[in-house]
Structure 1
Amino acid sequence: MRRLAPHCPEEYPLQPEAASLVQNCTNRRIPSFGREERFGATALARSGIRIPLCSTTSPAASPRVKFASTSAFGAYGTPSLAPNVPARYLTQINDALIHENGPGLAYLLRPTSPPGKALLKNLRAPTAASLAHYKGSLAAPWDEIAIQYVLICTHIAHGRPVEAFKEHCQLVSLFLRFFTESKGWPLPALFTILRDLRDLADDADSHTPANATEENEHKISATHVMQKAFSCCMTDRTSPVEESRKWGVYYVASLIMKCYFKVKKISLTRNIIKALENNTDIPDLGQYPRSHQVTYRYYIGMIAFLNEDFVKAEKELTLAFYNCLTAAPKNQTRILAYLVPLRILRGHLPSEDLLARFPALANLFVPFIAAIRAGDLAAFDDALAARETKLIELNLLLTLEKARELCLRVVFRRVWLAHEKSTRIAIASFHAGLRLSSGPGAEVEAEEAECLVANMIYRGFIRGYISHEKQTVVLAATNAFPRVADRAAPFAMG
């Protein structure tokens, strides 16, 4: 993500700490490998495949880490695989390595890219045995990586996701052997193969029989492989900061956390988060690409939300939302699905203009917001019942149930206004207000009304006390119903 954050809606004011962290990531300088022999000139000659090696002369401008590129090969041109497809593919890998072209290398390792399709057309029913004679065509481990790539493409083309996943795990392991001795320039390729690993794990699990010994077996295996990649990024102690593999830690961490969320093992994210928080050598999160910041903050906010640490959840999700591109409405929707309820609990109701931009969120939250504004308990309860399944799926049911107290506050405040802001109001009046708001046929006992008023006083929604002897609520002369956001613990709900 490159552009500045979208304009902040008035109902979600940008906090100072959020503004200080809205930054663009600068490109990182990456070194060259130096000698072309590193990429197997001798081995190529022995194999009988004549592949012209590119010059090792450095370009006028030193290459830098590229996390995204409009052209996979940048200044080096778009690849073409005709006429000798395997030899040409090996040449392109070699060229990408010599020029330290991370995006180009990522392009060559994607199973769905044109090179993969061209290789399948040229190589008839390739197997590990039939491809063995290509070993030594490039310096290790790239000869084996190229062979693994062809096998992965073959399995995908023939609808064998489980086999494709296993071969891709091997490809990632081979890549990490190279990556451990490298600096930061291959990060785009690492990101690509890890994303493909995650997608293949999803496909493999969807094709696994229901009676399998372990549910989500392939996703769990994928997290183990990703953990190794995370360690490779974290343990770069020799590269200069601007050329370090550490610029990939938050991206890889987010991929791992996404897998843990899918397999419902969120507690396992603790080790990843602790490793990032305790490592003082990695750059500040605000210096990373905004796409890395948004994804990581989203998952940190989600974990805090599920642990009911609503203060931290609101902070992280707010930062994620304001750094998220307006051109990514799906990502904004995911963030707002949890940020909106948190703001509702704080007493900040989102505007109609904001929700109009996100129809799915409007359909989910507008009935609750309308019920809170009107103090209509019956409408609020109806909205909960109608959306119960969706709210359970999103882990939002308990949060929205807590927001019912805001609706209750409006009911009691209107009773207070009807009594011309008197400092003494009979409990019977609050009981009558509850019965009217709960709808026809609803049974509300007088004792329940007294209990609800007592709870509202205890939680800071009302300033006053109850005189049990006179069955009267004694209210403060000033600010009897303080703003929800002004309470000492604004997230303290029932």
Structure 2
Amino acid sequence: MGNQEAVQAYLNQIASAAEVEDGTTLAALLKIGDDHARQLNGALQAAHGSVVENAVRRRLNEQWAEVVWGHLRVLRALEGSGRSASASSPKRSTSVEDEAGIVRAAELQNTVAQAFHQVFTNQTRWCLPVLYAVDGDLRALSIEADTYLQRTGQKAGRLEDAARSMNKAFSYCVTDRFSPADKSRKWGTYHIVNLLFRIYFRLQQTNLCPTILRSISAGDLPGLERFPIADQLSFKYHVGVLAFYNENYKKADEDLSFALWHCHAQLKKKGASSRLVKNRLLILNYLVPARFILGILPHPTLLTKYPALNYLYGNFVTAIKRGDIKLFDQSLYDLQRDLIDRGTYLTVERARALAVRKLFKKVWILNGSSSRIQMTQFQKALHLAGAEATLDDVGCMLANMIDKGYLKGYVSYEKQMVVTAKEDPFPSIQRLAIS
């Protein structure tokens, strides 16, 4: 097939899919990793740009022509950059000039997304696969472009540009008030929200997420349970992490547990693919320390199954169980960088109070479960555990435990002792979390 014939055949496929509202086929024809990219490669490189553009504009209406011509320009930019658009035949860039082409491709993909979003406002649910393909490629190319720009000491920002464009797509989904319920663009809301959340998390701009959540609440959407399970899982993961960051550990536990359970169901259903296993680890990274605060420690088999999880949290579990302050503090010091990188350092640090509580409970037991214990007894226990503390420090620890409900009683600073409740002075942390 000649170059012109290849381009014309492609355009005929586009026109046919749009005419019959075949969103799945149209999405593939506008996705950079699809086979058509490889098939059109020679034609796009050989033909003059104006010749291809004229062919596009003759065959398609104005709006779709903008989208398709933009897409073909993206393919040319990717092939010219040394990075093949076809997933089946990737190539590596060979020079800085070649790599810079990825920035151009990301910019062009943004124009494709903007052009498609204008088309999208007049379409219904059938067009959602196209939206996912176009905006998904926009996110991926923007990340790649920013990586290149940062590596070469240039100002990044393509991903922020992509987020602004996708925000329009989100708005077009959530505010669709005229399409019939079963054909509404609202059915694409959570997929686009998840794309936006992934961008905001990567850019460390999670402060923008609450605005999205408020729009969802006001959007009169179908219940989340009616959306595809992949959209539910991803959404629950993101809102669970947001709750974790806001120290709302009950909600974090609820949402992350939902994501973990359904991820586990997907694993059993589809087989243990590396992507799903990775997703499960991402969820557990936040769920395990969130449950520390709720008094729930992971089962040993979980840590055995996931060595990376055991590396991060195994010693803290042991320290909390034993009241081993020295082990806790040393582990916190050794793993500081890893925990900061994963966004869990502050929560794990807060869990130190549980190790202190366990140690103090041992002191209470060794004192015959007496309701009156001298503060020096706790100070000695801390010393033996490798944590030096003044009596004022001990008083603060005890007061904090009482304030959190970890210990029932009061501190008598005048007599330098703690007076505990006679019944259940160390109530279950889990019961406290539920109440």
Task: Say whether the fold is shared (TM-score over 0.5).
Answer: yes
Report whether the alignment pairs 1:363 with 2:311: yes
CA 1:467 to 1:182, structure 2 compared with 1: closer, same or farther past 3 Å?
closer
Residue 86 of structure 2 corresponds to: none
- Give the Cα separation in 2 of the matches to 1:126 and 1:421: 88
Q: Which amino acid in the other structure matches residue 183 of structure 1?
A: T
CA 1:86 to 1:423, structure 2 compared with 1: closer, same or farther past 3 Å?
same
- Give the Cα separation in 1 of the matches to 2:199 and 2:328: 35
Question: Gaps spanning 5+ residues in structure 1: where?
Answer: 1-79
Mapping of 1:10-49 within 5 angstroms? Answer: none
Deviation at 1:410, TM superposition (A): 0.7
Deviation at 1:184, TM superposition (A): 0.4
Deviation at 1:488, TM superposition (A): 6.7
Residues 395-443 of structure 1 show CA distances to partners (whole Å, capped at 9, x for unaligned) of: 21111111000000110111112223222222222222111112xxx53
Report whether the alignment pairs 1:171 with 2:112: yes
- Give the Cα separation in 1 of the matches to 2:29 and 2:367: 75
CA 1:473 to 1:253, structure 2 compared with 1: closer, same or farther past 3 Å?
same
For residue 177 of structure 2, the aligned residue among 237, 248, 262 is 237
- Give the Cα separation in 1 of the matches to 2:75 and 2:25: 18
Deviation at 1:211, TM superposition (A): 5.4
- Give the Cα separation in 2 of the matches to 1:375 and 1:126: 73
Residue 8 of structure 2 corresponds to: 87
Q: Which amino acid in the other structure matches residue 478 of structure 1?
A: E
- Give the Cα separation in 1 of the matches to 2:213 and 2:392: 48
Q: Which amino acid in the other structure matches residue 105 of structure 1?
A: L
Q: Which moved more, 1:424-433 or 1:373-382?
A: 424-433
Mapping of 1:346-361 within 5 angstroms? Answer: 346-361=294-309
Q: Which amino acid in the other structure matches residue 175 of structure 2?
A: T
Contact 1:216/1:263 (<8 A) preserved: no
For residue 402 of structure 1, the aligned residue among 332, 340, 350 is 350
Length, aligned pairs only: 405
Other structure's SS at 1:283 match: coil
Higher share of residues assigned helix: 2
Mapping of 1:121-140 within 5 angstroms? Answer: 121-126=42-47, 128-134=49-55, 135-140=57-62
Q: Which moved more, 1:369-378 or 1:172-181?
A: 172-181
Q: Which amino acid in the other structure matches residue 64 of structure 2?
A: W
Residue 132 of structure 2 corresponds to: 191
Residue 63 of structure 2 corresponds to: 141
Contact 1:466/1:473 (<8 A) preserved: yes
Q: Which amino acid in the other structure matches residue 448 of structure 1?
A: D
Residues 304-347 of structure 1 show CA distances to partners (whole Å, capped at 9, x for unaligned) of: 22222333322222222222233411111111111111111111
Report whether the alignment pairs 1:267 with 2:219: no
Report whether the alignment pairs 1:162 with 2:162: no
Deviation at 1:196, TM superposition (A): 0.3
CA 1:125 to 1:486, structure 2 compared with 1: closer, same or farther past 3 Å?
same
Q: More relative contact order in 1 or in 2 (CA 8 Å, sep 6+)? A: 1
- Give the Cα separation in 2 of the matches to 1:90 and 1:190: 19
Other structure's SS at 2:419 match: strand
Report whether the alignment pairs 1:464 with 2:409: yes
Contact 2:382/2:388 (<8 A) preserved: no
Other structure's SS at 1:130 match: helix
For residue 417 of structure 1, the aligned residue among 360, 365, 369 is 365
Q: Which amino acid in the other structure matches residue 275 of structure 1?
A: S
Residue 3 of structure 1 corresponds to: none
Residue 105 of structure 1 corresponds to: 26
- Give the Cα separation in 1 of the matches to 2:416 and 2:115: 77
Deviation at 1:469, TM superposition (A): 4.1
Deviation at 1:126, TM superposition (A): 4.6
- Give the Cα separation in 2 of the matches to 1:271 and 1:181: 25
Other structure's SS at 2:33 match: coil
- Give the Cα separation in 1 of the matches to 2:108 and 2:284: 38
Report whether the alignment pairs 1:322 with 2:266: no
Contact 2:191/2:231 (<8 A) preserved: yes
- Give the Cα separation in 2 of the matches to 1:472 and 1:234: 60
Deviation at 1:462, TM superposition (A): 1.4
- Give the Cα separation in 2 of the matches to 1:168 and 1:488: 48
Report whether the alignment pairs 1:292 with 2:231: yes
Residue 119 of structure 1 corresponds to: 40
Residues 159-209 of structure 1 show CA distances to partners (whole Å, capped at 9, x for unaligned) of: 211111122122222222322211101111110110100011112212226
Percent identity, please.
Answer: 33
Q: Which amino acid in the other structure matches residue 392 of structure 2?
A: E
Residue 31 of structure 1 corresponds to: none
Deviation at 1:127, TM superposition (A): 5.1
Deviation at 1:467, TM superposition (A): 3.4
Q: Which amino acid in the other structure matches residue 104 of structure 2?
A: E
Residues 16-54 of structure 1 show CA distances to partners (whole Å, capped at 9, x for unaligned) of: xxxxxxxxxxxxxxxxxxxxxxxxxxxxxxxxxxxxxxx
Deviation at 1:273, TM superposition (A): 1.4
- Give the Cα separation in 2 of the matches to 1:198 and 1:143: 22
Other structure's SS at 2:54 match: helix
Other structure's SS at 2:383 match: helix
Contact 1:266/1:303 (<8 A) preserved: yes
Deviation at 1:83, TM superposition (A): 10
Output the aligned Cα RMSD. 2.2
- Give the Cα separation in 2 of the matches to 1:133 and 1:238: 35
Q: Which amino acid in the other structure matches residue 171 of structure 2?
A: S
CA 1:279 to 1:123, structure 2 compared with 1: closer, same or farther past 3 Å?
closer
Other structure's SS at 1:465 match: strand
